[in-house]
Amino acid sequence: MMNNQVILSLTLAIFFAGAHAATITFTNSCPYTVWPGSLTSDQQPQLSSTGFELASGASSSLTTPVPWKGRFWGRTGCSTDASGKFSCATAECSSGQVTCNGNGAIPPASLVEINIVANGGQDFYDVSLVDGFNLPVSVAPQGGTGDCQTSSCPANVNAVCPAELQVQGSDGSVIACKSACTQFNQPQYCCTPPNDTPDTCPPTNYSQIFEDQCPQAYSYAYDDVNSTFTCSGGPNYVITFCPSA
């Protein structure tokens, strides 16, 4: 008959043998520095790093528990002022630090959303421009089974952003493009009541601009058909800023 210590040891061994982590690798192919940020959903604990600096040409990795659900984005134009406060020109998370510490990105921000499922189930992932656009980005599963395609927004949407949606930098250049929802806060753009169904919230001229540039990315809330990607079998993921077209 096994004693309690042996039972506990076997239980822990089984638990850790079944434990799994997914690796998220970030690659910066932009000609400028990017500061990735992360946010874990559903009030779950944040990742070991919620923000860091990634030089042009550099790569870095994080691990997530499984299951895990959350989003990643890249901040640009970041600096630290004389008082030590850190801030960014786009996709700012307003923590005052390089780490976002549970804060999300302030729109406009190009987002990568990943829902990692336990036991090798079907993961869901996408690139979303529902909160606007600040830089090109892609997400690609590594390994796994099933469709497992890359979801990419390689185009510079800022180059075709309408004047009323533009965010300009200190030099007058367009550094980000707002969504119509962010800019106008109206139900037909935000898909909020009474326009909170696919039938009552169709694409608009503004969302079509994002769709034309990045057809694989979410251009508005109900843009599911071509924008949701799946992969099973416990893949890892590579997020690339400024992927090649």
CB 180 within 8 A of CB 155: no
Alpha-carbon distances of 20 from 59, 71, 211, 233, rounded to whole Å: 22, 19, 36, 12
> What 3-state class would DSSP assign to 210?
helix
- Amino acid 103: pLDDT: 97
Q: Give the closest residue to 133 by CA, choosing from 76, 50, 57, 58.
A: 76
> At the topology level of CATH, where does 20-241 sit?
Thaumatin (2.60.110)
- Amino acid 14: pLDDT: 33
Q: What is the pLDDT along the chain (245 residues), one digit of tens a residue?
A: 444 443 333 333 333 334 579 999 999 999 999 999 999 999 899 999 999 999 999 999 999 999 999 999 999 999 999 999 999 999 999 999 999 999 999 999 999 999 999 998 999 999 999 999 999 999 999 999 999 999 999 999 999 999 999 999 999 999 999 999 999 999 999 999 999 999 999 999 999 999 999 999 999 999 988 899 999 999 999 999 999 86
d(CA 131, CA 182): 7
Which single residue is written with the structure tokens 């910066």?
28
- Amino acid 16: pLDDT: 35
Query: How is the chain split into domains, by residue range?
Result: 20-241
CB 175 within 8 A of CB 158: yes
Tell me the helix, strand and coil percentages in the chain, rounded to 5.
Answer: 15, 30, 50
Which single residue is written with the structure tokens 């790093």?
49
- Amino acid 245: pLDDT: 67
- Amino acid 226: pLDDT: 83
pTM of the model: 0.90
Q: Which amino acid is at 170?
A: S
